[in-house]
Amino acid sequence: MDEERKDIVAGIYIRVSTEDQAREGFSLPEQEEKLKALCTYKDYKVFDIYRDAGVSAKDMEHRPEFQRMLKDMKAKKINAIVAYKLDRVTRSVRDLEELISELEANKCYLICDRDD
């Protein structure tokens, strides 16, 4: 049986909305540092870092970096999205459902550092 591990090529997604910027632990540099360390620890190759600053998680369409990341996923440039917490990715159940469908269709994982 071939047990070859498929390499994980990650897109790191970091986002802060204006109200989050004041909270400790949510700054873009802090999220980036933690997620890069996680990728190093897990032996994931980082393809790119997608940064949406001062953008709400209300919907996925109005986040340019999130859209660029999805485009890269569909182009098979990444096979994992690594985020600090699920609420950095979305706060909408409808958007989460849509995202899960996109992830499954593109054989892509969603890895959230602070959520199980």
Q: Catalytic residue positions?
A: 17
Coil/strand/helix, residue 116: coil
CA torsion sign for 115, 6, 96, 41 is: positive
Measured in whole angstroms, how far is the alpha carbon of residue 109 from the centre of its chain? 9
DSSP state of 4: P
CA 89/CA 103 separation, integer angstroms: 13
